[in-house]
């Protein structure tokens, strides 16, 4: 019996962008003269207050990092999480994640995570991600074989967390550390839960084999079955048992209103996250990140894979299963439909603030969610029965009437 | 002009397609990061005097990147094997751009099989300081800026829109290999400038006057580091003078190699 866990998430945008025609890209090369430190200070504190409010409402907390971008002001997620480790009391603290393919010192990551885990008395959940393509230029790291590199960093970090008898040696393909003996060690034993993002059946199988939580962002109806099926099969093959439902996580934009109109109005504001992601090809398609087939399609100017769909509508994104919005009843029904369609998941990451959505608007939505939606979702998953959901799922045909050409393939990896 | 394609297979099973054209003393031509160029107009002009050996680096033109390959160094040692296996004698070693860097790395190790070295709009060194961008960041440049930097006459640039899906995928694969060999340190080996003095064969640096990827100033810096070298600048040409000015290019090449 596992209750669904909801994770409040905001990307901490700096939404005050200049006229869109005046800049080439919101990522990588937007001059930071457009960042006003006073406004920034207000925003950071507002976002921290939102996370603290999530803690008080009984929601869990998720944060992440990006670099050289107005879409996410946090270039060092562990620093924000370090503050929240001290400022919050009950929430689980998820970082999703550490871009370990782009970071040169995995041991340092192991140390930072152990520190947060100890300060929070064991509330850390630690994600590892390959990172989106626009992170390549800021990191200056060649993305080819990034997934292999991620797993090498993962192996070193998990060993650093679990080795307690003095230094060990690691000399891998990408990382070298010959005297590893971190202080502190993690609070949780043997180590904090690990999450890894996934975007295909193949990448899902690799996460499943290790038994970690597999997280999917905005794959929607068109892709979710393939990815989650890949995880479930990979898990069953590797562990000879059915996957516990808490191994899967899905992230969507979520807005709950007292009325449908209010919920949809909030969702329109959340769409800023997609529509403001103006990124040119050279940052969206660095060599070695995408497969040649995807890279070629992007060079052709096809929208597939070029990033978040900057011209989209709320109706389209709701139809895809990327946005759940409306009254509490409507949002519950939308999530339940998606849940049954994909075969169930135990973690819901909810981007419930983006762009110009205010503190009050966000808290109203969060409160409605936590009071009127969350309890029903917990009940839904606590009644999870693998056989039963497979029957329900079998009655739901594949959603094929959705145009996947503008799907955000940078998340689908 | 007849050409035949053979295949070099390394000790570790890496295959390199090798095109041979013409007859005479061998000229081994190492292509740049854009990949092998099928149509080399200058080649026709020299093939009655030389045999051109034109290999494709692993990862280019649809060939796989070997599992253990990480950077240009892997290419250098692969070519040392290839050159030994061909038993080249008195050959001309020529490289374009990234291939020029590769040729320079080979030459600083051993010139015994070569009579002359030709580096064309070559990368490989960093003349300036940390804050100087000596080589245009081709991976972070918008397509139109890149066209301007690369070509004197942009009409000669390949038209990507005219390519089939399959051909475009090869272009995309070429970019992956190009990035692998040149990403960091970007397009250069910091040690190379302390080694170029070892090149003890006559060296010709051919440069497009309007090259915006590596300027003629970069060519001068390279000349300053290679003992017996001259810099020959071709007007009305960018980064690929052998494509934009094939007659001029062949002329400079022949003048240098035959004299």
> 10-residue block means of pLDDT along chain A (413 residues)?
93 97 96 98 98 98 98 98 98 98 97 98 98 96 96 98 98 98 98 96 96 96 95 97 96 98 98 94 96 93 60 93 98 97 97 98 98 97 89 84 43 37
- pLDDT at position B38, please? 64
CB contact under 8 A, A287 and B169: no
- How many angstroms separate the CA atoms of B239 and B170, rounded? 21
Q: Is some CB atom of chain A closer than 8 A to the CB atom of B179?
A: yes
Average pLDDT, chain B: 95
- pLDDT at position B39, please? 65
- pLDDT at position A403, please? 47
B-chain residues near A299 (CB < 8 A) = 160, 168, 171-172
CATH number for the domain whose boundaries are A5-395: 3.20.20.30
Spell out which chain A residues touch chain B, with contact meaning CB-CB distance below 8 angstroms. 24, 28, 137, 140-142, 144, 280-283, 286-288, 292-293, 295-296, 299-300
Which helix (H) or strand (E) covers residue B199, if one does? none
Strand B114-120 to B15-21 pairing:
unpaired
Percent of chain B with pLDDT over 70: 99
More confident residue, A399 or B164: B164
Closest residue of A to B162, CA-based?
Answer: A300
What structural domains and CATH numbers belong to chain B?
3-258 (3.40.50.1820)
DSSP class of residue B161 equals G
- pLDDT at position A409, please? 42
CB contact under 8 A, B139 and A287: yes
* Interface test with chain A among B63, B72, B176, by most A beta carbons within 10 Å: B176
B9, HSE (Cβ side, Cα atoms, 13 Å): 1
More confident residue, B180 or B159: B180
ipTM, 2 dp = 0.94
Contact at 8 Å (CB) between A78 and A116? yes
- pLDDT at position B242, please? 95
Shortest distance between the Cα of A182 and any Cα of chain B, in A, equals: 29
pLDDT-based confidence at residue B55 (cuts at 50, 70, 90): very high
Give how far Cα B12 sits from Cα of A47, A133, B74, Å.
55, 32, 12
CB contact under 8 A, B139 and A292: no
Which whole number is the average pLDDT over B90-97?
A: 98
Radius of gyration, alpha carbons of chain A: 20
- pLDDT at position A386, please? 87
Contact at 8 Å (CB) between A57 and A26? no
Shortest distance between the Cα of B169 and any Cα of chain A, in A, equals: 5
Percent of chain B with pLDDT over 90: 92
- pLDDT at position A412, please? 37
Kindly report the three-state secondary structure assignment for every residue of chain A: CCCCEEEEEECCCCCCCCCHHHCCCCECCCCHHHCCHHHHHHHHHHHHHHHHHHHHHCCEEEECCCCCECCCCCCCHHHHHHHHHHHCCCCCEEEEEECCCCCCCHHHHHHHHHHHHHHCCCCEEEEECCCCHHHHHHHCCCCCCHHHHHHHHHHHHHHHHHCCCCCEEEECCCCEEEEECCCCCCCCCCCCCEEEECCCHHHHHHHHHCCCEEEEECCHHHHHHHHHHHHHHHHHHHHCCCCCHHHEEEEEEEEECCCHHHHHHHHHHHCHHHHCCCCCHHHHCCCCCCCHHHHHHHHCCCCCCCCCCCCCCHHHHHHHCCEEEECHHHHHHHHHHHHHHHCCCCEEEEEEECCCCCHHHHHHHHHHHHHHHHHHHHHHHHCCCHHHHHHHHHHCCCCCCCCCCCCCCCCCC
B-chain residues near A295 (CB < 8 A) = 169, 172, 175-176
Contact at 8 Å (CB) between A220 and A322? yes
- How many angstroms separate the CA atoms of A388 and A396, rounded? 13
């Amino acid at each position: 019996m596992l209750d669904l866990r909801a994770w409040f998430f905001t990307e901490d945008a700096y939404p005050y962008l200049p006229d869109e025609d005046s800049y080439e890209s919101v990522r990588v090369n937007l001059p930071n003269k457009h960042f006003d430190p006073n406004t920034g200070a207000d925003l950071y504190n507002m976002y921290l207050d939102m996370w603290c409010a999530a803690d008080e409402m009984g929601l869990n907390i998720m944060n992440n990092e990006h670099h050289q971008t107005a879409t996410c002001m946090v270039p060092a997620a562990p620093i924000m999480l370090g503050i929240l480790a001290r400022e919050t009391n009950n929430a689980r603290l998820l970082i999703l994640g550490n871009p370990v393919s782009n970071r040169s010192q995995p041991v340092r990551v192991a140390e930072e995570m152990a520190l947060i885990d100890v300060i929070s008395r064991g509330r850390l959940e630690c994600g590892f991600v390959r990172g989106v393509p626009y992170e390549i230029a800021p990191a200056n790291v060649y993305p080819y074989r990034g997934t292999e590199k991620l797993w090498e960093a993962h192996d070193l970090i998990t060993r650093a967390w679990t080795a307690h008898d003095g230094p060990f040696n690691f000399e891998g393909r990408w990382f070298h550390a010959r005297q590893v003996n971190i202080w502190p060690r993690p609070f949780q034993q043997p180590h904090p839960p690990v999450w890894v993002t996934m975007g295909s059946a193949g990448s899902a199988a690799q996460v499943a084999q290790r038994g970690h939580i597999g997280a999917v962002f905005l794959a929607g109806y068109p892709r979710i079955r393939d990815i989650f099926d890949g995880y479930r099969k990979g898990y069953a093959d590797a562990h000879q048992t059915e996957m516990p439902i808490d191994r899967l996580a899905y992230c969507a934009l979520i807005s709950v209103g007292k009325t449908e109109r209010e919920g949809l109005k909030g969702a329109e504001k959340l769409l800023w996250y997609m529509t403001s992601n103006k990124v040119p090809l050279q940052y969206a398609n660095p060599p070695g990140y995408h497969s040649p087939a995807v890279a070629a399609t992007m060079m052709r100017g096809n929208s597939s894979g070029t990033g978040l769909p900057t011209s989209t509508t709320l109706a389209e994104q709701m139809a895809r299963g990327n946005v759940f919005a409306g009254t509490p009843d409507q949002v519950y029904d939308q999530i339940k439909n998606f849940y049954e369609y994909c075969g169930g998941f135990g973690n819901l990451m909810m981007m419930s603030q983006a762009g110009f959505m205010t503190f009050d608007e966000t808290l109203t939505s969060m409160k409605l969610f936590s009071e009127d939606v969350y309890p029903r979702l917990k009940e839904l998953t606590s009644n999870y029965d693998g056989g039963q959901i497979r029957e329900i799922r079998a009655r739901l045909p594949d959603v094929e009437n959705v145009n996947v050409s503008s799907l955000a393939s940078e998340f689908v990896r | 002009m007849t050409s035949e394609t053979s295949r070099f297979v390394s000790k570790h099973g890496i295959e390199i397609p090798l095109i041979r054209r013409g007859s005479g003393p061998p000229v081994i031509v190492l292509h740049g990061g854009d990949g092998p160029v099928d149509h080399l107009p200058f080649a026709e002009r020299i093939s009655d005097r030389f045999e051109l050996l034109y290999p494709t680096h692993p990862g280019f033109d649809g060939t796989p990147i070997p599992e253990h390959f990480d950077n240009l160094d892997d290419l250098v040692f692969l070519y040392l094997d290839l050159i030994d296996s061909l038993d080249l004698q008195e050959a001309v070693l020529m490289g374009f751009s990234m291939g020029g860097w590769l040729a320079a790395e080979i030459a600083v190790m051993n010139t015994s099989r070569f009579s002359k070295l030709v580096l064309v709009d070559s990368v490989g060194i960093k003349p300036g300081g940390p804050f100087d961008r000596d080589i245009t960041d081709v991976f972070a440049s918008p397509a139109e800026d890149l066209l301007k930097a690369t070509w004197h006459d942009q009409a000669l640039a390949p038209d990507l829109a005219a390519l089939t899906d399959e051909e475009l995928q090869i272009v995309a694969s070429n970019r992956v290999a190009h990035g692998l060999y040149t990403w960091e340190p970007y397009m250069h080996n910091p040690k190379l400038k302390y080694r170029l003095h070892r090149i003890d064969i006559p060296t010709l640096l051919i440069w497009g006057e309007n090259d915006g990827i590596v300027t003629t100033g970069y060519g001068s810096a390279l000349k300053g580091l290679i003992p017996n070298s001259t810099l020959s600048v071709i007007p009305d040409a960018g980064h690929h003078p052998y494509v934009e000015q094939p007659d001029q290019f062949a002329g400079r090449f022949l003048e240098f190699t035959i004299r």
